[in-house]
Chain A
């Protein structure tokens, strides 16, 4: 059974209730259509159970399959430096079919980010290193495609692209 080799820390991007005993980690790729299917399901899960759940998103960009996956991941990380990780995360998934560099700059403007800072951070080696660390941690933890979920450190293998299969986590 695959388990998470790198525990969730303060450096992770999380939403929900940090005090809850349930930590759900998703390894995802912004250009992966299966992650696009999971996106509204996760949102629904957080709406319904946000008090009983901490949700963490980590980057797993399959860049050879998805040419915009890395620039999208970097955009979310750059937005995070201005306190808007989840806003960028959401807008990227909502516009998954149109992830060009120009459009991403447009998303940053929509979110009222400091554009010169965003443009600089978006290209920074530091953020690229962070995205690669996420990817490496995922590879070492047995992430075998996206999305892959871990509940409290154990890989969750029963997700089948239905809301029910995610809601089952809340009974575990």
Chain B
């Protein structure tokens, strides 16, 4: 079951680069967008992340940090990021494999992959919006942007 809204997002520490881990709680005070995706290099994921790469200005304007997460290794993430010029971190949910995806209820046990799932967390780390996309469908950025707008309107 995908983690429901209004629940605290479980904290985690994952490698963002070969020698540096990031913790979800490091981003307290900012909104966080978690974009789980099945695999580096696969066509649908690459399109999805390329669209998010172009959305960063809008995410930043909403005080939101984007984090991509898959079960690929930190070295695969490094090569993939460099190849596609991604300007946001890709986190390696690699060892134990898929542990964070399991915490968020979107691990595909059969395939051994994170499903294509999106979470928007508020400044206190509470899940305010989530979306589980069919595995072969690129969900785009509109749902995230709508969720960020809603959060910003509630606050202001």
Interface of A with B (CB < 8 Å)? 2, 5, 61-65, 132, 135-136, 139-145
Q: Are B142 and A139 touching (Cβ within 8 A)?
A: yes
Name the one of B50, B57, B146 contacting A65, with C-beta atoms under 8 angstroms. B50
- Shortest C-beta distance, A162 to chain B (Å), equals 18
Interface residue ranges of B12-61 to A (CB < 8 Å): 47-48, 50-51, 53-55, 57-58
Residues of chain A within 8 A (CB-CB) of B145 are: 139-140
Q: Are A62 and B139 touching (Cβ within 8 A)?
A: no
Contacts A2-B140, A136-B58 given; does A143 touch B86 at CB 8 Å: no
Q: Are B54 and A64 touching (Cβ within 8 A)?
A: yes
The docked-state distance in angstroms from the alpha carbon of A5 to that of B139 is 16
Q: Are B84 and A139 touching (Cβ within 8 A)?
A: no
- Known contacts A64-B54, A139-B51, A143-B140; 4 additional CB pairs below 8 A are A62-B54, A64-B53, A64-B87, A142-B140
Q: How many residues of B contact A (CB 8 A)?
A: 21
Q: How many A-B residue pairs have CB under 8 A?
A: 54
Contacts A135-B54, A144-B47, A144-B48 given; does A65 touch B141 at CB 8 Å: no
Summarize B's interface: helix, strand, loop or mixed.
helix
Residues of chain A within 8 A (CB-CB) of B47 are: 144-145
Residues of chain B within 8 A (CB-CB) of A61 are: 54
Residues of chain A within 8 A (CB-CB) of B140 are: 2, 139, 142-144
The docked-state distance in angstroms from the alpha carbon of A135 to that of B51 is 10
- Shortest C-beta distance, A150 to chain B (Å), equals 12
Summarize A's interface: helix, strand, loop or mixed.
loop
Q: Are B138 and A145 touching (Cβ within 8 A)?
A: yes
Name the one of A2, A64, A132 contacting B50, with C-beta atoms under 8 angstroms. A64
The docked-state distance in angstroms from the alpha carbon of A41 to that of B147 is 36
Q: Are B85 and A65 touching (Cβ within 8 A)?
A: yes
The docked-state distance in angstroms from the alpha carbon of A63 to that of B50 is 9
Q: Are A143 and B51 touching (Cβ within 8 A)?
A: yes
The docked-state distance in angstroms from the alpha carbon of A140 to that of B146 is 8
